[in-house]
Structure 1
Amino acid sequence: FPPSRLNSFGRDERKVDSRTIYVGHRPCPATEALIPPKFCDNRIVSSKYTVWNFLPKNLFEQFRRIANFYFLIIFLVQVIVDTPTSPVTSGLPLFFVITVTAIKQGYEDWLRHKADNEVNKYLVTVLEDGRRACKESEKIKVGDVVEVVEDETFPCDLILLQSSREDETCFVTTASLDGESNHKTHYTVPDTERNLESLSATIECEQPQPDLYKFVGRMHIYRNNQEPAVRSLGPENLLLKGATLKNTQKIYGVAVYSGMETKMALNYQGKSQKRSAVEKSINAFLLVYLCILVSKALVCTTLKYVWQNRPGQDEPWYNQKTQKEKDTNLYLKMFTDFLSFMVLFNFIIPVSMYVTVEMQKFLGSFFISWDKDFFDPEIQEGALVNTSDLNEELGQVEYVFTDKTGTLTQNNMEFIECCIDGFQYKYADSGTELDGFCVTDGPGNILQQKAGREKEELFLRALCLCHTVQVKEATGQGDGVADCVEDQVDGVMGLDGETVGPADLGGFIASSPDEVALVKGAMKYGFKFLGMESKNMRVMNRNNDVETYELLHVLNFDPVRRRMSVIVRTKSGDTMLFCKGADSSIFPRVRQEEVDKIRMHVERNATEGYRTLCVAYKLLSREEYDQADTGLREAKLALQDREEKLMAVYNQVETGMSLIGATAVEDRLQEEAAETMEALQGAGMKVWVLTGDKMETAKSTCYACRLFQRSTELLELTVRTLVDLGRKREERLHELLLDYHKRAVQDAPPIKAGVTRSWSSANQDYGFIIDGATLSLVLNSSPDSNSSCYKSLFLQICQNCTTVLCCRMAPLQKAQIVKMVKNCKGSPITLSIGDGANDVSMILEAHVGIGIKGREGRQAVRNSDYAIPKLKHLKKLLLGHGHLYYVRIAHLVQYFFYKNLCFILPQFLYQFFCGYSQQPLYDAAYLTMYNICFTSMPILANSLLEQHICMEVLMDNAALYRDVAKNAMLGWGPFLYWTLLGVYQGLLFFFGVRFLFSNPALQDNGQVFGNWSYGTIVFTVLVFTVTLKLAMDTRHWTWINHFVIWGSLAFYMFFSFFWGGIIWPFLRQQRLYFVFANMLSSVSAWLIIILLILLSLLPEILLLVLRKPRGPHSRQVLSTYSDTISFKYLKGVTTLQNTS
């Protein structure tokens, strides 16, 4: 089935592909013989491999990687063609890389198999022919009636038929699905609560689709051969697989979707693979070295045949070519020789670098998880790493996109004040005077006997009725309503009057902390919501009288409508609609004179950073209610276009309302939010705030976080600024974009590379503000002469602003903004951070996604690359860990190419002195073990433990982050330096040893060394030089560094003695027998080895001596002058630190 057909609605009514389910597999009366429809079983399969396909499938996937495929070709060439080196020299490293990767992937898939089996083999209770029977979860079929008890997860998608609660509801948490940890209320289908054993019913519902919040269906209930009763089914009746039953002893439900057709399974998809800038640099460097490799092979092949064309020159005798081989076609021989030279020089491409990089990323990610500074005692959790492939990307971030609510703020709502009929009411502990209304020391006495008391009480009743908050069953032993209320008040309010957080809601269950804050706000003024009782809402007023309202309909909140309503009936028979929502949604639906009284308070509260909601009501006549009731019932029974029909009824009934007042709820800033944002800007990052909140509230938050300074000139592009009588919005938009572009881009002085405007007092700081409606005009502009350049102008303006605020944003627009910046010129590295489900789109779109373990659930955490408990931890994650990770892996990559160039250059030079005979300079054992054993562990340890600057200095000096920005250490300049260093040392190794061999007598007995002794001396100098070079680059020494560096050198010495000191029967030729021991017995060999090592490291030694700072240590300088030191001096000190 095509999910897209069910995810979007068109204007024309569509056909919905539906399925029919027989409850309990019982046929319905007056129907033909039941032919059970075929649905999939309830098995969940998240694994990738099986025992039978693991080997071929894994090998196929690994050899799709270009590097692995290249080395496979080299290995096959060695097997097929007569090459100078053994196939073992390339086959063994390739086998090592493939094996390590296969073990890692196989282990991960085994864990998935284990998790699948735990779910599939879980025992579930099912009703069969009136009996309770246990069966494994994977054997559940669509139509089975399943029993689930409290704290159990639902084994498949169920329609709720019966609940142990008297109000015919149940509570669930969907944290494992959408990350929302709050309790959600679900309702039984009417007329199915009793006699499940004899229930005869069919369900007609849509085919499986992945949207967790959409479900349409209807149930036909047959009783006593009468016409079937039809009941609508919606998301409130559907219990999703993976959700957990809470605060309900037991429920029964019928399975409608099973196995891989459940919404959880349909939403299971791996995140798209993100590639870091380091990986792109590696690929670019590999291309350069591949060109070098091909060039070397071509040069040697050409010179070989030029040399053999001389009189008397032929194929060397030791190559053992037969006459038939010598008479082979010239071009075929040239091609074969070209492949042989490719094999001889292929070690310039470091195959082991890939597995080393993978190990460095995997092991390095544990340092984030283990960092105690990331541990939050409130939630008893630390940082989480969901992917280790982007560690170094944390040190390259240029743009930070952040959500506001729950990220910059705490998402811990507290009711601050309200405005009723134009008058302000603010709760206080001591007596004050507010707009003529006396506020006493008791919350119950705040509202006094005034003429407007009826409207004030109507407002507070609206707060107590217009919500979806539930009250937990009382656990106290007190009798009567008063005792119950006291228990609830003590739970909601702290002893000092402070509001308790959502983790301790004192008996309230809600899906949104805003709703709990409003209910608690009403309690401050004397109106208390007591909960539901048989579809009746109970409210205690100021006089401790309990009022009962029949709940007729709930018009649920929708992000498009941005409001929610309830329709209730009073004891006197009046039908009332109460509505609350955003001011932009409520104001157009009430009388304008009422708006004027409230608007000023709403805007003032938003400017102060409070979240505001407006409250309205409407007294429905009998005709209006009957029309709305009929429309709602018909719309809920529709299988086609149900949402559009419901929306039409909502819009019809929510008109002509009377505005009562507005509320202000405070969402306080996160701990150290301002310091964190200031540090990010100081590090050269540009911060964009993307929020669905109103502009005034978001702008106030930006000022509080120091993203906007008082000196910042704000450029506003919103619906309000586009209003110009007599002119089209597009014309006004074009005019403003050109004006802002002239001020922020054309007339602004150029910014120095790496310096943001916030660090330059000589330049004017600009901040940009845009709302969602205007952004749609910019991004979706028509392709005419004026609007075609909107997007380009907008982007250029934003790039020259220190902070950009995008308010009233939809989740899709957040992702569009991130994608636009990510794909702009220069391809800057982007980071998105958020805590809610509406932030998932931008988290997935950015190069790096950060989830906050906040109060809006864990969906952002589950979809992120990294998760942290609080916003303040972002500072250390980027400025500390990110900086070090990038420096470590950049050094690892450059070092690998450098040491392989040093390794293979003498091999290339040797061909000029052996008649281009493809004679290897090194023994096969050295060729095989150079990258695997002799030089790999020291660089791995260095790339995990190195700290060229200590973490504290990096945290205190944000500008140090700029030293490594824009992939500075993996640019072509550093790459050229490392390449030239490798060429210099490679030349020195070869010609230095050749100078030694110019002496005819190298040993005391007058004997001379052979070619294998020549190669062994070169290899010894090589291993010691590249290892000591790494030791000189190490700034932070640990016992592990000492162990692997000196241990690797000791192992090389031991292996050379061991390998050359024993006659190995399995070797056809033992070229190194006694060579190493014989070499070390020569004083000349000792002298040349020590001398060449010193000469090779001389440039590095001179750099250390000449650039060593005089005076205080660089860390002391940084710590002492961190507040006033200039960026230029910081860069210089850092350079000195890197070489000190």
Structure 2
Amino acid sequence: DGSTSMEHIPSSRIVRLGKVQPQAPGHRTVFCNDRDANALARFKGNSVSTTKYDVLTFLPKGLFEQFRRVANLYFLMISILSCTPISPVSPITNVLPLTLVLLVSLIKEAWEDWKRFQNDMAINNSTVEVLQGQRWVFMPWKKLQVGDIIKVNQDGFFPADILFLGSTNPDGICYIETANLDGETNLKIRKALEKTWDYVTPDKAAEFKGEVQCEQPNNSLYTFTGNLIINKQTLPINPNQLLLRGCSLRNTEYIVGAVIFSGHETKVMMNSMKIPSKRSTLEKKLDKLILILFSVLISMCLLGAIGSGIFINEKYYYLHFDKSEKQFDPSNRFVVAILTFFTLVTLYSPIIPISLYVSVEMIKFIQSTQFINNDLHMYHVESNTQALARTSNLNEELGQVEYIFSDKTGTLTRNLMEFFKCSIDGEIYGTGISEIEIGTAQRSGVKFEAPKQQSLAREKGFNFDDSRLMRGAWKNEPNPEACKEFFRCLAICHTVLPEGEETPEKIRYQAASPDEAALVTAAKNFGFFFYRRSPTTIYVRESHVEKMGKVQDVPYEILNVLEFNSTRKRQSVVCRYPDGRLVLYCKGADTVIYERLAGGNNDLKRVSREHLEQFGEAGLRTLCLAYRNLGPDEYKNWNEKYIQAKSSLRDREKKLDEVAEFIEKELILIGCTAIEDKLQEGVPACIETLSRAGIKIWVLTGDKMETAINIAYACKLINNTMKQFLINSETDAIREIEDRGDQVELARFMKETVKNELKRCNEEARQFLGSGTRTKLALVIDGKCLMYALDPSLRVMLLNLSLNCNAVVCCRVSPLQKAQV
């Protein structure tokens, strides 16, 4: 159990060394800032190697790789035969070409491995600041040891898996980018334990003598359990306090941490496999061809050998048989046949050309170094990145791709969020037309002119245009109080950090997700400028609140932050106004906010839901905003429970979620926001080209079905000439059973429905394919139906249908379902 301290096992070794105990197999004990105590455990060093060979294994392993090829084995056999007396040809004619082939292949392997070695050396010799005595000393990564206290500066990479102790940010938080681990470019927040926040300066860090008891190294990136024992207190550690090797520090001047796992025991290295020897499809086909040619060769040699055994005869005296040579002794026909067979093998051996492999090897090598690496069409200007072929073994595989699986956010779209529209108190604001709306128009067959780009320079994250809300005009709207609450919710309910000068033009917002930054930027443009944050207060410069043109700085005391996570799907902040008013602001997914709204006000709820659907169909990302006024006594009682849950050692996250439920209720809906995530440049053209090349594309997204279809149209993945199969759980029959609440009946009915739908679609697909029409097929299926379609009894039907479709869109899917697909 991570919350209890591990028992100390008495042994003679403990008595002799004072405090170091032998490592139990189930967990490791790390003594922070104490190299001598950690020396006994013999933890692995921090040097890493990703090479395929080393000096000793290069020749045996390299030759083994070469002789995995059928052709090389064949040429080796021929070379051995050519060295025997029965060979009619000189051994050099076979041995020399084979040696050259092996030499060229081994030089190519060595060159590619040398590049990997150089890369490893560059990483191992990168420097990091390590605490020695009471000062920071630069040290190469490879010399780091488990237990060392290190300092990582902004934009630096973490050299090992480290326990996060403290940072220059308030509240002991830091922002990290995990792009190297999971490809996600949005920043993640990590938070140090409150007891370790002060260990940031070298003199304070030198005093830190904690003991970490944690799990043994493993490859699970998202889990971690352990305890930090400090000043005889046991504090639980979770993944929030672990900074993984491969991630980089963002928007934080520097952090201080203790090395827990190093080198090949870090989670990222335990996830990286030894470099496999990859063989392309072409190479495998060549092997089959060579086996066929070898069979032909053996047949020819057998025929020749049997013929010579039958026809050799003393009566052909004019052939001058030399009986001293067994191969020409008519009295022993069997030996003649066998020896002739081997002679013919060496004689006919050129039927399999040794130059074939050399040519293929050289072509692939030149292709990767001279063509792929220098391809201007594959050069990314923004990041100054060129294409890089790490191995030349698989070049031709690129031309044989049949299926592409794609996520939506950050792949089809730019992951650059822009505040686009909003609905406040039942009124829609924002006049823009999204890319997806243009796609929707195409879907319904309407010719649509793309909106002209406005000449007005727009701020990053804000692409909103409606004079009714800008420059204080909201004061003249019929609902100014709702507008004010809406803007305050945007300016207060977040975890964004401001950076730079405290002016609207020069300030920069650092956020855990681009959505958060877009919402705070929107508040700034509406006249509610969030410019400073301290551990307990948010400062907002509010314009036009009391009267037009008046600007005032208002401090809001932040009492509690109920953080966003994937199960809660919402984030709340409890704040105190300068006049003492207590307010809870909450923003989150429409489904969770609507469940927690107070009774009454049904017209606003209905209209807002229609607006949400409208925004969804336009491909916009929606959030609902709500608030609640709190009484001092109610807040006091709740806060006691909250503090208790926050300091709990067991199931802390679960308890905090339960406590949040007590206060996130009886909410008053303010409105909803709509954020646009534009398509990547060239996505529609790219998908069209891939489609013309016969490549089938699957898009997996968490969006609603309507939104997903509209995005597919905008991407040119689906068009009106395609026959579309829709398998949807949002039908009246399914809704009726859902309302009854009988889960067993629902599961049975859903499975039956999905089975019938798959049968129907498969039959229709067969008819279309059999009719000879060139109509392309597309399948759209949602997450609930997919869950049943992936059942072992139905997955073959799903596979048959999807293999016949040129495009497949899976919507409302979970990360697990993406993996199953």
Matched, 1:473 2:483: no
Aligned CA distance change for structure 1 residues 447 and 214 (closer, same or farther; 3 Å): farther
Alignment of 1:501-540 (within 5 A): 507-540=508-541
Aligned to 2:613: 603
The residue identity in structure 2 corresponding to 1:507 is: R
Aligned CA distance change for structure 1 residues 547 and 278 (closer, same or farther; 3 Å): same
The residue identity in structure 2 corresponding to 1:211 is: S
Aligned to 1:725: 736
The residue identity in structure 2 corresponding to 1:51 is: V
Match of 1:371 among 371, 375, 391: 375
User: Shift of the alpha carbon at 1:743?
Assistant: 3.2
User: Shift of the alpha carbon at 1:384?
Assistant: 4.2
Give CA deviations for 1:820-857 in whole Å, capped at 9, x if unaligned: xxxxxxxxxxxxxxxxxxxxxxxxxxxxxxxxxxxxxx
The residue identity in structure 2 corresponding to 1:110 is: W
The residue identity in structure 2 corresponding to 1:420 is: I
Aligned partners of 2:576 and 2:582 also within 8 Å = yes
Give CA deviations for 1:79-107 in whole Å, capped at 9, x if unaligned: 34622223322222221121111112222
Give CA deviations for 1:653-685 in whole Å, capped at 9, x if unaligned: 766655443221122233343333334434444
User: Shift of the alpha carbon at 1:343?
Assistant: 2.2
Aligned partners of 1:757 and 1:802 also within 8 Å = no
Aligned to 1:1109: none
Between the aligned partners of 1:606 and 1:803, the Cα distance in structure 2 is: 22
Aligned to 1:360: 363
Percent sequence identity over aligned pairs: 36
Aligned to 2:441: none
Match of 2:486 among 459, 464, 470: 459
Aligned CA distance change for structure 1 residues 486 and 134 (closer, same or farther; 3 Å): closer
- SS, match of residue 365 in structure 2: helix
Matched, 1:771 2:789: no
User: Shift of the alpha carbon at 1:26?
Assistant: 8.5
Match of 2:640 among 606, 626, 630: 626
User: Shift of the alpha carbon at 1:271?
Assistant: 7.1
Aligned partners of 2:213 and 2:227 also within 8 Å = yes
Give CA deviations for 1:762-785 in whole Å, capped at 9, x if unaligned: xxxx5321012211110125xxxx
Aligned to 1:287: 291
User: Shift of the alpha carbon at 1:455?
Assistant: 4.0
Aligned CA distance change for structure 1 residues 734 and 163 (closer, same or farther; 3 Å): closer
Aligned to 1:973: none
Structure number having the greater helix percentage = 1
Aligned to 1:1087: none
User: Shift of the alpha carbon at 1:297?
Assistant: 1.1
Between the aligned partners of 1:128 and 1:377, the Cα distance in structure 2 is: 42
Between the aligned partners of 2:643 and 2:608, the Cα distance in structure 1 is: 31
Aligned partners of 1:18 and 1:205 also within 8 Å = yes
Aligned partners of 1:308 and 1:315 also within 8 Å = no
Aligned partners of 2:69 and 2:287 also within 8 Å = no
Aligned CA distance change for structure 1 residues 660 and 731 (closer, same or farther; 3 Å): farther
Between the aligned partners of 2:728 and 2:320, the Cα distance in structure 1 is: 81
Aligned partners of 1:745 and 1:797 also within 8 Å = no
Aligned to 1:918: none
The residue identity in structure 2 corresponding to 1:565 is: Q
Say which one has the larger Rg. 1
Aligned partners of 1:551 and 1:566 also within 8 Å = no
- SS, match of residue 296 in structure 2: helix
Aligned to 1:1005: none
Give CA deviations for 1:126-166 in whole Å, capped at 9, x if unaligned: 32343555544323221122233445433322223343456
Aligned to 1:757: 775
Matched, 1:565 2:586: no
User: Shift of the alpha carbon at 1:582?
Assistant: 3.7
The residue identity in structure 1 corresponding to 2:504 is: E
Aligned to 1:485: 503
The residue identity in structure 1 corresponding to 2:644 is: T
- SS, match of residue 780 in structure 1: coil
Between the aligned partners of 1:274 and 1:308, the Cα distance in structure 2 is: 50
Aligned to 1:22: 31
Match of 2:78 among 74, 83, 95: 74
The residue identity in structure 2 corresponding to 1:54 is: F
The residue identity in structure 2 corresponding to 1:550 is: I
- How many residues align? The count is 736
Alignment of 1:633-672 (within 5 A): 633-634=647-648, 637-638=649-650, 659-672=669-682
Give CA deviations for 1:464-491 in whole Å, capped at 9, x if unaligned: 34444322233xxxxxxxxx13234xxx
User: Shift of the alpha carbon at 1:353?
Assistant: 1.8
Aligned CA distance change for structure 1 residues 462 and 346 (closer, same or farther; 3 Å): farther
The residue identity in structure 1 corresponding to 2:766 is: V
Aligned CA distance change for structure 1 residues 120 and 387 (closer, same or farther; 3 Å): closer
Aligned partners of 1:724 and 1:732 also within 8 Å = no
More displaced stretch, 245-254 vs 88-97: 245-254
Between the aligned partners of 2:764 and 2:191, the Cα distance in structure 1 is: 58
The residue identity in structure 2 corresponding to 1:775 is: L
Aligned CA distance change for structure 1 residues 324 and 715 (closer, same or farther; 3 Å): closer
Between the aligned partners of 1:44 and 1:810, the Cα distance in structure 2 is: 35
The residue identity in structure 2 corresponding to 1:144 is: D
Aligned to 1:791: 795
User: Shift of the alpha carbon at 1:176?
Assistant: 4.1
The residue identity in structure 1 corresponding to 2:755 is: H
TM-score (norm 2): 0.80
Aligned partners of 1:427 and 1:524 also within 8 Å = no
Match of 1:702 among 704, 707, 712: 712
Aligned to 1:927: none
- SS, match of residue 565 in structure 2: strand
Aligned CA distance change for structure 1 residues 621 and 247 (closer, same or farther; 3 Å): closer
Match of 1:547 among 552, 555, 562: 555
Between the aligned partners of 1:567 and 1:188, the Cα distance in structure 2 is: 20
- SS, match of residue 504 in structure 2: helix
Aligned to 2:114: 110
Aligned partners of 1:81 and 1:340 also within 8 Å = no
Match of 1:254 among 258, 274, 296: 258
User: Shift of the alpha carbon at 1:356?
Assistant: 1.9
Say which structure, 1 or 2, has more relative contact order (CA 8 Å, 6+ apart). 1
Aligned partners of 1:42 and 1:141 also within 8 Å = yes
Structure 2 residues without counterparts, runs of 5 or longer: 1-23, 433-453, 457-464, 546-551, 738-745
User: Shift of the alpha carbon at 1:701?
Assistant: 1.5
User: Shift of the alpha carbon at 1:799?
Assistant: 4.2
Aligned partners of 1:575 and 1:625 also within 8 Å = no
Between the aligned partners of 1:87 and 1:36, the Cα distance in structure 2 is: 59
The residue identity in structure 2 corresponding to 1:90 is: N
The residue identity in structure 2 corresponding to 1:669 is: L
Alignment of 1:1031-1110 (within 5 A): none
- SS, match of residue 206 in structure 2: helix
Between the aligned partners of 2:238 and 2:135, the Cα distance in structure 1 is: 29
Aligned to 1:99: 103
Matched, 1:128 2:142: no
More displaced stretch, 672-681 vs 302-311: 672-681
Between the aligned partners of 1:367 and 1:516, the Cα distance in structure 2 is: 41
RMSD value over aligned CA atoms? 3.7
Aligned CA distance change for structure 1 residues 198 and 88 (closer, same or farther; 3 Å): same
The residue identity in structure 1 corresponding to 2:671 is: G
Between the aligned partners of 2:636 and 2:35, the Cα distance in structure 1 is: 42
Aligned partners of 1:163 and 1:252 also within 8 Å = yes
- SS, match of residue 200 in structure 1: coil
- SS, match of residue 688 in structure 1: strand
Aligned to 2:699: 689
Aligned to 2:418: 414
Aligned CA distance change for structure 1 residues 40 and 67 (closer, same or farther; 3 Å): same
The residue identity in structure 1 corresponding to 2:784 is: A
Between the aligned partners of 2:372 and 2:808, the Cα distance in structure 1 is: 30
- SS, match of residue 537 in structure 1: strand
TM-score (norm 1): 0.59
Between the aligned partners of 2:353 and 2:580, the Cα distance in structure 1 is: 83
Aligned CA distance change for structure 1 residues 655 and 259 (closer, same or farther; 3 Å): farther
User: Shift of the alpha carbon at 1:340?
Assistant: 2.7
